[in-house]
Amino acid sequence: MNWKFFRRQPQSQEIQKVSDIPNDITMETDLPRFVITCILAFALVTFHNRTYHIFTYREEYFYAIVLAFSLLLFFLMFNIRYRGRIELLINFIMVMMAGIVAYAILQMFFDQNYVWRASIVEFLNYMCATLPFLIVLILTGRASLSVIFGGTVIYLLGLANHLVMLFRGEPLLVHDLLATGTALDVSASYVVQIDAGMIYATFLYLFVVVVGLVLSEERKSKPHKRVLRLMATTVLAAFLLYFNWGTPEDFYYSWIREINGYPFTFCINIKMLNTKEPSNYQVKELEKWMPKAGTSPKKDIKATEGESTNKATQLYRDGVKPHIISVMSESLVDYKTLGNFDTNMDYMPFLHHLEENTIKGTTNVTVFGGGTCDTEYTYLTGNTTAYVPANARPYQLYLNELAPNLATTLNQQGYQSHAIHPGQPNAWNRNRAYAYLGFEDFYTAENFSDHDYARRMYISDWASYAMIKKIYEERGDQPLFIHNVTIQNHGPFYGDISEYEDQITLEGLEGYYPAVEQYLTMVLETDKATEDLIRYFEDQEEPVAVVVFGDHHPKLEDQFYEEINGGVPMDEWSPEDRQKRYNTPFYIWTNFDIEEKEMGVIGIQYLQSVLLEELGLKMPPYQQYLAELMKKYPIVNSEGVMDSMGNYYTNKNEMKNPEDLTRYQHLLYNNIHDAKHRVKALYYLEPDKISDKKYIKVPVQMYDFKLPTIGRPQLGTHAIE
């Protein structure tokens, strides 16, 4: 190894074998380099001192930037040349290390806060950020070009993502690249402000470019290029094999994308977009199935004959469409259906005894402990997520145009559709998803008072239901469809809830499962608020239907599940017992006369069909098909299938008539993934009158008013203060 300073060394132009070139490292500098480096160092220090108080600098990134600055100045000061086999090793190491800097660039654009991630997630982020470098290295065999070009691609992607985050609060994903026209239309109304993340990322990008420029290469050496290409191909192939045929999506947490890191988020969404077309899928064949799919809705089920003088019943019998209040209640579960345990008081006294004019049962959902948007999407559209990749959230991936669902079905029957979620508007991309689902407006946490919080950061069900009443009382002549996604009972379940007079405890197990006891206490609050909502609409003269269902089980102590299931370890549970962890209750109540019934367990994708059929409203052919499929297979989810006899199947080949589910899978693919060839007549009542321009307002209309603060009124008062 030869170290030479302050003088240039001639470079041999002769093409040699890599093994014939002596290992040699040369470092050299001169006065111009020294002067330029000093000037740049002075400029960087001056810039930092003058902007330190303007921008918010994250301490966790500051030291990384200092290190990058130091290395940048070092590479500018010295001209480093290395030859021989060591050149291959150093060049390849520099390309791989550029991926680390690229990851940092994307994160600084994406989220300046450092978030701890599991080692496997950090590795996936690093490899995803390194992909452009490896691809260019394979194509050219030149490390310098790989570092410069790959760094440029990463920087532009990060900058584009940063701007998209400013415009809409959601990261740039691959499907957004197909909608650049819309992005350009809306971007004109935004003002871009330079922040610390942009500055940090830009300096890191300059560092990458300088590193690429100073890399030493035997540019005419074909053996040199072949070896680099082989090394890059080996690494890239190994990663792509795992990424495409493994299950990296298992590590993707779609609720808070910042936790995943932007490179991994971008790449995993590419994979989840590429859903494989089912075998024998043909669009023309779909229409042939549908005439045999189901029957017409029950047009004569308007009311039960009797002596009732209820005004709502009379109007309903006369053909007045009922207002529909849909409540997807956060983590609403009746644990008594899972096993035996005793509490000091009933945690669902009202819902347990709700009988009159009520249809009740159990919905089987596809998620546990989270993934609210999957249940919501499945309920509104009838599309199960059993056949999409794990953690692929349709609201984030598959809604890029008007999608047929309960709102569009009701809109075509004269309804006005409103959405409420007292959380952040961009949670699960709802501010965009609701627009593509045909909702006219969206009420979020910004419309509630700071005093409406039940605990910690979650707005109470009392306040959420008060918003329903407000919309109802300001209604016009059209029937209403109000879809409310509550948030009060969102986990985790710890902290102080002493403000509640009624506290649920587990008899004989007091204090053993504190999360369970806090959860059940909050469910009791939900039960009280739901009773107040039902009593309110009970007094209304116009016909009203209220449907309440849970989105998923909360994440509580696993030992509690085993405790109430006879102490059996969860890994020894039968398929039937495992399915119970995906069961939530549902209730359809009306203020007019209907036939009461218990429906047992049904998949959440069927609830819409049940609701429309029981209310005597029109259903598109797809919902009629689901109504018939429910009779054969009440449960279809990612865990398996249950037939009408209660038999569970985890493998479709074990079933007697798997063609029924094959048809469902074809319809799902056509409806979700093949929107370009979607057979609209299957999913809409009036397909010729469907227009994206008519229904879609992206983002959906939101308001800046605040609902007046409410308390927990006495039952029967129904007052909004």
Q: What are the boundaries of each domain within the chain?
A: 21-272, 283-698
Q: What percent of the chain has pLDDT over 90?
A: 33
233 or 260: which carries more pLDDT confidence?
233
Confidence class for position 372, pLDDT limits 50, 70, 90 = confident
Distances (CA, A) of 693 to 50, 165, 441, 689, 696: 49, 25, 15, 11, 6
Confidence class for position 641, pLDDT limits 50, 70, 90 = confident
Q: What share of the chain is helix, strand, coil (3-state, %, to 5)?
A: 50, 10, 40
Give the 3-state secondary structure of residue 32. Answer: helix
Predicted local distance difference test score (pLDDT) of residue 712: 44
Predicted local distance difference test score (pLDDT) of residue 19: 52
Predicted local distance difference test score (pLDDT) of residue 325: 98
75 or 673: which carries more pLDDT confidence?
673
- Global pTM value: 0.70
Predicted local distance difference test score (pLDDT) of residue 600: 92
What token pair was written down for 605?
Answer: 């994708």
The tens digit of pLDDT for each residue in 39-76 reads: 877 777 776 666 655 555 555 556 666 766 677 677 67
What token pair was written down for 326?
Answer: 């849909």
Per the prediction, the chain carries an average pLDDT of: 79
Mean pLDDT lowest among 63-67, 229-233, 337-341, 431-435:
63-67
Please state the rounded mean pLDDT for residues 509-534: 93
191 or 189: which carries more pLDDT confidence?
191
Q: Which residues pair with 176 in a beta bridge?
A: none
Query: Token pair 């608020």 is at which residue?
Result: 529
The tens digit of pLDDT for each residue in 529-570 reads: 999 999 999 999 999 999 999 999 998 888 899 899 888 888
Predicted local distance difference test score (pLDDT) of residue 229: 87
Distances (CA, A) of 24 to 50, 428, 530: 43, 55, 78
Q: Evaluate if residue 178 carries a pLDDT over 50.
A: no
What token pair was written down for 187?
Answer: 């971007």
Predicted local distance difference test score (pLDDT) of residue 455: 62
286 or 616: which carries more pLDDT confidence?
616
Predicted local distance difference test score (pLDDT) of residue 4: 44
Contact 603, 564 (CB under 8 A): no
Per-position b or e across 420-457, b if 16+ CB within 10 A of its CB: bbbbebebbbbbbbbbbbbbbbbbbbebbeeebbbbee
Predicted local distance difference test score (pLDDT) of residue 356: 94
HSE-up (13 A, CA, CB side) for residue 216: 23
The CATH architecture one would assign to domain 283-698 is: 3-Layer(aba) Sandwich (3.40)
Predicted local distance difference test score (pLDDT) of residue 321: 96
Please state the rounded mean pLDDT for residues 519-530: 94
165: Cβ–Cβ under 8 A, 6 or more apart, which residues? 110, 171, 172
The tens digit of pLDDT for each residue in 377-401 reads: 999 999 998 777 656 778 877 887 8
Predicted local distance difference test score (pLDDT) of residue 445: 86
Closest CA to 364 of 630, 663, 672: 630
From first CA to last CA, the distance across the chain in angstroms is 83
The tens digit of pLDDT for each residue in 405-451 reads: 999 999 999 999 999 999 888 788 888 889 899 999 999 888 887 66
90 or 542: which carries more pLDDT confidence?
542
Closest CA to 533 of 420, 431, 415, 451: 420
* DSSP secondary structure letter of residue 710: -
Q: What percent of the chain has pLDDT over 70?
A: 75
Q: Evaluate if residue 102 carries a pLDDT over 50.
A: yes
